[in-house]
Chain A
Amino acid sequence: MADLSNQQKVHEAQIALLLKQFRVTGLSNVFILSIAAAVIWSMTQSLFVLPWLIVGYGLVALRPLVLGLQNKAQNKQLTGSQLEHTVTLLLVMSALHWGVIVWEYYDVNNIELFLFISAIYLGLVSGSMPSLSVRFPVWMIYAISMFLTLVIKMLYLSSWSMAMMLSIYCTAFIYFGRNLSKKIEHSITLDLKNTELLKEVNLAKEHAEKANLAKSKFMASASHDLRQPLHVQSMLLEVLSLRLEDKKLDQDELKNLVNKITQSNSALNKLFNALLEISQLDAGTLKVNLSHQNLNELSANLFEEYRILAQQKGLLFKVEVEDCTVISDPILLQRILSNLLSNALKFTEKGCISISVKNRLDDVEIIIADTGIGIDATQFERIFEEYEQVGNQARDRNKGIGLGLALVSRLCELLNHKVDVTSKLLKGSEFKVTLARGDEPKVISVDTDINYNQIDNTQILLIDDEQDIVNAMSLILTNWGARVQGVSSIEEALCLIESSQYEPDLIISDYRLKSKETGLEGLSLINNRIGKTIPSLLISGDTDPELLEKINKQNLYILHKPVKAQLLKKVINILLKQ
């Protein structure tokens, strides 16, 4: 397609050039007509040349009319090819006009006139080649019609050899004209390409300069905002250290100072986070995970958080939420909404903040409205730019740093959400986020419990010679979902395995059992009997380093009495996972 439009452009340029040349050759045509008429008259004294000359002038005078057409073409959308046809017609007429001279006076017997007319013809055709072969077909028709008159006359005079010669000349001329035309076309194409490239380069340059300017502005504002809290912190820290030297610090003052430092610290923190996010967006490293999400679950906490903040500021907080499913990234969407809510909160002193979530035909609309200071309609575009804070020339830090809406708009772009603003100065603002609707059945709820509990339904064999411990441990393990078999000795354990094909998923054994057996020996006996190594852990009251090393060599976990439940759980989970 691009190629086609390129061709069209080349065509247009060719026609423009053709018309220009056509205008220029008009004058020389008048000159040649006059000379030809004068010479022929002086040779033949024929009065016929007079009307011929007048018709010739008339034909030349028609040319500006065609040029007038070109001017009109710019208004009336006369196509290039229509102009081309008109030019061709005029040229053919001019060729026929010359043909009249040929018909009347071209004669091999009058050598002088014959040479003169031949010279004029060759001059006209070769002279038109560089100027008119811009559009090869136009020039070709002209050249052929010029030669054709000569050839016809020669045929009429039965001068076969001359007719033959002229035909060959014509062919050669056309061949050269074609080559020239191709060269001209090539140079026009290159020219057009150059212009286009230059345009692109200029555009890119402008873009880069604009971006650079925006960055500089951004940096200037950012460094100002960064320095402010930093400066405050240094001052406060200085005061603090002076007070410490004087040893005149009372509790209240200390608390006050620390509070202030904390405040400016958290301001810095927020600023850095926002900057980080913007730079992540710039670098394209922010990962987006789009999925079907239930909006209510997602936003309930967020709305609750802002409800409390609004109440603290004495504002009404209205929430009107329908049950909606959307396609979005829950984390980024939360960031968008919380930026919009905190903005609403920031710029509203009295009245209310309201949120409405509505299902529409194909999408879901979230509207966050306030009755705050509002935004002038002329500023709607600018508020989404980085570091733009309308009407905060003094850059009051309490009003934030002007990154919130920039983040909102860029996150929305990333997520394919639409964000719109309507607002009236001093009346309030309304931000609308439009999201694609999701399918309720596609909402996935994965077990959100981050505490992996693989203990559920596992068979645990517990070996301890003290019944109290067996009871207590069983209680804990059952509580975690395990099914526990408690035994007091290795013998009993082996019996259990033998009698009921019992095969535990995990064995927990005391190291020191009655009758001098150790858990270590017991475990290997049990493993032998079952025929495979069951994940096991030992519990011991000993802290004998040699013993520990021995157990460690067996690649077993050993827990020390008293065993902390949390640790036991962790080790069981590790073992079950292996």
Chain B
Amino acid sequence: MKNILVIDDHPVFVDGITSFIRNVLPNSNIVTCVNGDETLKQLHRSIGFDWIFLDINLPDVSGLELLKQFLELKVLANVIVVSSDENPETIHAALELHANGFISKQFNTDVFKKCMQTIERGGVYLDKQQAQSLKNYREGIFIEKKYIQENISERQQEALLMISKGLSNQEIAALMNISESTVKTHISLLMNLFEADNRSHCVAEAKRLGFTL
């Protein structure tokens, strides 16, 4: 018997996916949650799920936030993101958070089965279009990252690391043994490089592009 968690706030959709699951995995125990809060409460009671079907657009928190929580709580279930949001950035972020597959809300039984099989064989499931747009997106990231890597200095990298730790200009200046105005110059160059509006945006961009901070 499989334990399955369905997280979605649309009752009609929950009904639909539940019947799909019953069809593919008869005798499964299906728990449903309608928002992030309920999900976390459920997971604190038990993390012993085999499959989780997660809607990325929940009323209270984003599905990506929940994916982080799954890792935090060491949930071992396979997570399939079910969403009408086909934005490659979302897909990329979800995969980085170890989601196992994506199906759009217009799926059919075949897709459903294929997705679960692919995941059980150790793969990640995306449909053709999603895979293509993800590839595109990663190309974009690749180019940006390469450009930044070619243009960032060692000192700037150090500064970036310190910003990400939330250090102030003063602290950074002391640690790097340079003046505060030099720190400011480094930081403004960093913000230019990452096309960011402020420090936290800069750090977020660096993370998005896959810099280890």
The count of chain A contact residues (Cβ–Cβ below 8 Å) is 27
A444 in contact with B143 (CB, 8 Å): yes
Q: Which of A539-559 contact B (CB under 8 A)?
A: 552, 557, 559
Contact (Cβ within 8 A) A570 B98 = yes
What 1/0 flags go to B92-109 for Cβ under 8 Å of A? Answer: 000100101000001000
Interface assignment of B124: CB less than 8 Å from any CB of chain A: yes
Task: Determine whether the beta carbon of A330 is less than 8 Å from that of B76.
Answer: no
The smallest beta-carbon distance between B165 and chain A, in angstroms, is: 17
In the complex, residue of chain A having the shortest beta-carbon distance to the beta carbon of B76:
A567
By beta carbon, the residue of chain B nearest A556 is: B74
- Is the pair B129, A331 in contact by a Cβ cutoff of 8 Å? yes
B98 adjacent to A330 (CB under 8 Å): no
- Interface presence of B126 (CB below 8 A): yes
Residue with the highest number of chain B CB atoms closer than 10 Å, among A334, A446, A559, A571: A446
Choose among A289, A452, A559 the residue that contacts B95 (Cβ–Cβ < 8 A). A452
Most buried by A among B71, B135, B137: B135
A330 to B134, CA, bound (A): 11
Within the assembled complex, what's the spacing in Å between the Cα atoms of A117 and B174? 96
Docked-complex contact B138 and A446, CB < 8 angstroms = yes
Interface residues in B65-114 by Cβ distance below 8 A to A read: 71, 74, 76, 78, 95, 98, 100, 106
Tell whether B123 is near chain A: CB-to-CB under 8 Å. Answer: yes
A95 to nearest B CB, angstroms?
70
Contacts of B133 in A (CB 8 A): 331
Contact mask for chain B residues 136-158; partner A; CB cutoff 8 A; 1 contact, 0 none: 11111011000000000000000
Pairwise interchain contact A291-B136, C-beta atoms closer than 8 A: yes
> CA A484 – CA B132 in complex, angstroms?
35
Is B120 an interface residue when CB atoms closer than 8 A count as contact?
yes
**Cβ–Cβ contact B139 & A444, under 8 A:** yes
Interface of A is mostly: helix
From 466 to 524 in chain A, residues with beta carbon under 8 angstroms from any chain B beta carbon are none
Asked if B71 and A574 sit within 8 Å, CB to CB, the answer is yes
Provide the bound-state CA to CA distance between A444 and B138, in Å.
10
Name the residue of chain A whose CB is nearest to the CB of B136. Answer: A289
Residues of A within 8 A of B140 (CB): 289, 291
Which chain A residue shows the least CB distance to B141? A446
A330 touches B123 (CB 8 A): no
B142 A446 Cβ-Cβ under 8 A? yes
- For residues 145 through 184 of chain B, which have their beta carbon under 8 Å from a beta carbon of chain A? none
Q: Which residues of B contact A570 (CB under 8 A)?
A: 76, 78, 98, 100
| Chain B, interface residues (CB within 8 Å), range | 20 to 34
| A330 and B132 contacting across the interface, CB-CB below 8 Å | yes
Smallest beta-carbon distance B63→chain A, Å: 18
Asked whether A573 and B138 contact (CB < 8 A) given A269-B106, A450-B126, A451-B124, the answer is no
Residues of B within 8 A of A452 (CB): 95, 124
* Residues on the A chain within 8 Å of B45, using CB: none
A contact residues around B74 at 8 Å (CB): 552, 557
A552 to B46, CA, bound (A): 12
Closest CB in chain A relative to B195 CB, distance in Å: 16
Decide if A65 is an interface residue (CB 8 Å cutoff): no
In the bound complex, how far is the Cα of B95 from the Cα of A371, in angstroms? 46
- Residues of the A chain whose Cβ atoms lie less than 8 Å from the Cβ of B132: 330-331, 334
A565: CB under 8 A from chain B?
yes
Chain A residue nearest in CB terms to B128: A301
Whether A448 contacts B136 by the Cβ 8 Å rule is no
User: Are the C-beta atoms of B129 and A451 separated by less than 8 Å?
Assistant: no
Instruction: Give the chain B neighbours of A577 by CB distance below 8 A.
Output: 98
The residue of chain A having its C-beta at the shortest distance from the C-beta of B119 within the complex is: A566
Nearest Cβ on chain A to B14's Cβ, whole angstroms: 20
Look across to chain B and name the residue whose beta carbon is closest to the beta carbon of A447: B138
In the complex, whether A569 has a CB less than 8 A from a CB of chain B is yes
Tell yes or no: B122 within 8 A of A by CB.
yes
A571: nearest chain-B partner, CB-CB: B76
B12 to chain A minimum Cβ distance, whole angstroms, is 15
Please give me the residue from chain B that is nearest to A573 by CB atom. B98
> Which residues on B sit within 8 Å (CB–CB) of A571?
76
Contact between chains at B135 and A557 (CB < 8 Å): no
C-alpha gap A334/B136 in the complex (Å)? 13
Q: Are A450 and B124 in contact (CB under 8 A)?
A: yes
Whether B139 contacts A446 by the Cβ 8 Å rule is yes
Q: List, in ascending order, chain A residues with CB within 8 A of B129's CB.
A: 331
Residues on A facing B (Cβ under 8 Å): 269, 289, 291, 301, 329-331, 334, 444, 446, 448, 450-452, 552, 557, 559, 564-567, 569-571, 573-574, 577
What would be 16 A-B contacts, judged by CB atoms less than 8 Å apart? A331-B136, A444-B139, A444-B142, A446-B135, A446-B138, A446-B139, A446-B142, A450-B124, A451-B123, A552-B74, A564-B120, A566-B78, A569-B122, A570-B98, A571-B76, A574-B98
Closest 9 CB pairs of A and B: A566-B122, A450-B124, A451-B124, A444-B139, A446-B138, A289-B136, A446-B142, A446-B139, A569-B122
Chain B positions near chain A (C-beta within 8 angstroms): 71, 74, 76, 78, 95, 98, 100, 106, 119-124, 126, 128-129, 131-140, 142-143
Contacts A446-B139, A565-B122 supplied; 19 other A-B pairs, CB < 8 Å: A289-B137, A291-B136, A291-B143, A301-B128, A330-B132, A331-B129, A334-B132, A444-B143, A446-B135, A446-B142, A448-B131, A450-B131, A552-B74, A559-B76, A566-B119, A566-B122, A570-B76, A570-B98, A574-B98
